[in-house]
Chain A
């Protein structure tokens, strides 16, 4: 498995002088193709900053961010935007769908922006919506969809077009447990199909879907889970009374 995302001694400082806030301090994280990594920490620990820097929405104060082996912090704004469009899919807690576009148009948009003909972009988008069980809802606007459906549209938009990196910020935060579980199954499946995934959360249930959980406190990675044993080590010692 090859590294899709590498953060090398990344730091991020906001403000100046006495108002300085160190959001990230010398963070190293590598995520490979096929792997889902959860970054878990409380509010203000730096986890969302980590995600926006990994997604090239923000620049680090120091350190390197490599996507597919290329250092995006050395790229021009245009090149970075191209990497973002072609390689990275985002899923947010509040879905971030465009209200004036249908589900299909929302999913097709990044492909069209990247130069694909409208017809081809929509064909790919419809096939992705079908895969996520939303083919019937393709012509609906976001306001006509339930929360769970909106998030599935957002996932379709994030994974369509052979992207390499999936970044999710509390993707189940606005959903009930059934829809939350469905969303996590989809993110996990996208990674099993070859994407590299990063999900940031404070929620242990959500984090436990990941292959590896990284713990962040005060902008530092303080710990991570070891490779989990197989499920066969569970459920073997319990005995009824």
Chain B
């Protein structure tokens, strides 16, 4: 079941005109910022399919920038997000792509600052709901059927085991797990699909483990 809550149907409260092209776009931007962990200094935004064709008319551009500035779907400041981005020093560029993407509403965000760069691809699947499909070139093969978290960590022995142990301590069963890294000893990530949801307390506990950079909920 892709849609789990009544508020996926009656909602979100949002700035118009399109739930997929405006609200979904804002959510992709906001999730990208959350994964990056801070306000990026620059963003290159590649748009595919229907996003590339119609982004201006739907406010997809101001919505993605709004999301990168941490605005929610209903934040009136989405309309003036370009001005705000300039004020806080976020440089951005939109690049409509001709290439075919698997989903008609696809955006690839490359965001960064002096400390690092992150590449995130998201799709907007309707009614404002989104899915992340790729991070740093690593495809996230999420079924969307189960709660999932993304853990960014340093590639060190034992870090995967510690996260799994933490979840086991709370009686949370892992249904699927993928791990990947850029190179030995560098930044790595885990995508964990579980049979039950993790609450804030468990999230905090995992983020406090050694070598863990960040924990983000990617599917509720």
Partners in one complex: no
B interface residue numbers (CB < 8 A to A): none
